[in-house]
Structure formats: structure tokens, C-alpha cells
Amino acid sequence: MPYVKGKTTVSEINFLASSHVIAHTYQISDEGVTANVQGRKVVPAGTVYPANDNTAIGITYTDTDVTEGPQPGSVIIEAWILEERLPVALTAEAKTALAATSKIKFKQSVGG
């Protein structure tokens, strides 16, 4: 008997405006992350790390599954980002902190 799962659709929106990206590995926390319909706790790519406030030091590069607790994840510290494509809008505090602690720059996309 084969093992068959239901079909899952994934939506990945490209928020990078350049091919030059520098990312470091950080421990991604599971605090405050709610489970999706499959019961998995996933921090999506494009999330401000560690929080969308004055503590921001980068933006997550890939989805990170933290269902089993904190996990290592890739955090962008240098790149051009299309801000309007991020999953959650940046706060003014986060944008100021990113400018001070990383080399992330923001660009408006052409044609949305």
C-alpha cells in the first residue's frame, strides 16, 4: 500500500531585488509562532529577525520550521530587498535598526 498525502500548494514570493546576498546562521526562536493547518510552526522567509522592532538585525532568507523548538536559520544581513513584498510590513523602528546594524537596503519594485 503506497503512502499518499494530500496536495500542498506553496507560495514563495521573491522579495530580493539583487543576486548579491550575504546571510549568516542564527537560532530562530519558536516563541510566538502559531501552527499552520498541517500543525507545523514555520517562520516564513522575509520575516524580520529577531523581531519587527528596534532589535532587528536581519531578514530571514528561507522558511524555518520551528515545530520542534528553536532551529538554526539563514538571516540576510546584506542585500537589496523589495520591501512591499515582505510577508509583514516593516515598522519604522525595524527599518532604522536594520540601517544601523546591517547592509540591507530597500528598493521599490517596478510595476508591482
Tell which residue, 20, 11, 27, has the closest CA to residue 85: 11
Q: For 63-80, how does the pLDDT look when each residue is reduced to its tens digit (9 = 90+)? A: 999 999 999 999 999 999
Confidence of residue 103 (pLDDT cuts 50, 70, 90): very high
Inter-residue contact 69 to 87 (CB < 8 Å): no
Task: Tell me the whole-structure pTM to 2 decimals.
Answer: 0.86
In the predicted structure, residue 97 carries a pLDDT above the cut 60:
yes
Percent of the chain with pLDDT over 90: 81
Q: Which of 75, 83, 78, 76 is nearest to 103 (CA)?
A: 78
User: What is the pLDDT at residue 2?
Assistant: 67
pLDDT at 58: 98
Helix (H) or strand (E) holding 93: helix 92-101
